[in-house]
Amino acid sequence: QGVRENFWRGTFLGIVTVSILIINISNLYAYTATTPIEVVLRYTWFGAIIFWLMIMLYFWPLYYEMRSPSILGALQNAALMILLNPGFTLLIWVGVLLWVGLSVIVPPLGMLLTFSMLSILSTRAVFNRLIASGHDAPERMHVAVHDGDIL
């Protein structure tokens, strides 16, 4: 059922993500950093890639926690979450990079657990920031309570 509900949204976001990556990576390769403006542009393109990947980390958990879910609203909320919590987001990305690096070194770990781990990490990060900003704990979070502790 989840695939049916999100197939077109996921396809759209996949096409947008691939387009953003192709455009920015081709710009990185097409222009050499010989002038100061080209250096600034290269950093901007690289930053755009990183920012978009950060948005994608927060997108789906935020989408499912919205009262009236919309792609544009979730994208805006994800960007806002990154801008309001840059240190937290960088720590999350360090964890993501460490996990992906470990998954490359130990391939069975990568095949079995990487996508699940990234989903759990991004969902917990969104829940953490929602609670820290004064919102009530999301309903799905209450399912994960065992002996009064949040798992």
Dist CA 105 CA 98 (whole Å): 11
Note the pLDDT of residue 33: 75
Question: Which stretch of DSSP H or E encloses residue 149?
Answer: strand 149-150
140 Cβ neighbours under 8 A, 6+ residues apart: 64
Q: What is the reported pTM?
A: 0.76
Note the pLDDT of residue 130: 84
What does pLDDT average to in each consecutive run of 10 residues of the chain (151 residues)? 83 94 90 84 91 92 87 93 92 89 82 81 86 74 45 41
